[in-house]
Chain A
Amino acid sequence: MMRRSWLLTLALIVSGAISLFLTYVLIFGSPATSFNFLLSESSSIRTSESSNKNSAFEITRMQAFLPTQVIYYQDSNTYMIQNSEAIDQAMRLFDLTYNPANPLKIVEDVGYYQEIVSEQSWEYIFAAPIPIQQLSYVLSGIESVDDDLLVDRILLSEKNHSLYFMNSQDYRVAQILLPNDVQISQYLAPLQAVAHEGVEVIRVGLKRGSSYLPKDEIALPTYVYTLKKQSDAGYIAKFFEKQSYQLSSTNKENEKKYFTIDHSLTIDSNINLYSAKITVLQNRKSGNDNQLALDSFNVYRLFETWTEGVRYINNHGKPAFQRYLKNYPIVSSGTKQYALQTFEMQPRATTIAGTTLNLHLNIADLSEQHRLPNLEMVESILQKSKHTLQDYHRVYIGYVWQREMEEFQLATYVPAWIFETDGEVYQLAQGQDKLERIDE
Chain B
Amino acid sequence: MDFRHTKMLLLIIFLVFDIYLAFLLFSRAPIQSSNGVDAVQTLEVRLKNRNIKLPDSQLDTEMALPVLKTNQSTRLVEQKETLKGQKIRLSDKGLESTFDEPVVLDIEFATEMKPLTDEQMAKIQTQLLGKSEWFIAGESYTQGIYFPHEHQVIVYQEAYDNKVIMDGTAQIRLQLDKENRVKGYLQTYQDVLTTVTEANSLKSVRDVLSYLDTRVDTYIPDGSTIHPLTLVYYRTNNLKKIAIYNPAWVITYGPDEENMKTVMIDALDLTRVVPSVN
Interface residues of A (CB under 8 A from B): 5, 8-9, 11-12, 15-16, 18-19, 22-23, 25-26, 31-32, 34-35, 39-40, 42-43, 46, 226, 361-366, 406, 409-410
Contact = CB atoms under 8 A, between A and B. Distances in A.
Give the 5 A-B residue pairs with the shortest CB-CB distance, closest first.
A22-B21, A15-B14, A42-B36, A31-B29, A31-B28
B11 A22 contact: no
A231 to B, nearest CB: 9
Interface in B45-92: 67, 69
B260 interface: no
A25 B18 CA distance: 12
Interface of B: 4, 7-8, 10-11, 14-15, 17-18, 21-22, 24-25, 28-30, 32, 34, 36, 38-39, 67, 69, 194, 196-197, 237, 239-242, 244
A25 B29 CA distance: 11
B21 A43 contact: no
B190 to A, nearest CB: 16
A361 B21 contact: no
A321 to B, nearest CB: 26
Contacts of A226: 237, 239, 244
Contact of B197 (A8, A26, A361, A406): A361
30 contacts: A8-B7, A9-B7, A11-B11, A12-B10, A12-B11, A12-B14, A15-B15, A16-B14, A18-B14, A19-B14, A19-B18, A22-B22, A22-B24, A22-B25, A26-B24, A26-B25, A31-B28, A31-B30, A32-B29, A35-B29, A40-B32, A40-B36, A43-B32, A361-B67, A361-B244, A363-B69, A363-B242, A364-B196, A366-B241, A410-B239
B197 A409 contact: no
A363 to B, nearest CB: 6
Contact of B11 (A8, A46, A361, A363): A8
A5 B3 CA distance: 10
A11 B25 CA distance: 22
Given A366-B242, A406-B240, 20 more contacts: A8-B7, A12-B11, A15-B14, A15-B15, A15-B18, A18-B14, A19-B17, A22-B21, A26-B24, A26-B25, A31-B29, A31-B30, A34-B29, A40-B34, A226-B237, A361-B196, A361-B197, A363-B242, A364-B196, A410-B239
A39 B24 contact: no
Nearest to A42: B36
Contacts of A25: 25
A410 B25 contact: no
A17 B241 CA distance: 70
Contacts of A39: 32
A46 B244 CA distance: 35
A26 B21 CA distance: 8
Nearest to A5: B4
Nearest to B17: A19
Contacts of B39: 43, 46
B151 to A, nearest CB: 37
Contacts of A366: 241-242
A18 B241 CA distance: 68
Contacts of B69: 361, 363
B237 A410 contact: yes
A11 to B, nearest CB: 6
Contacts of B67: 361
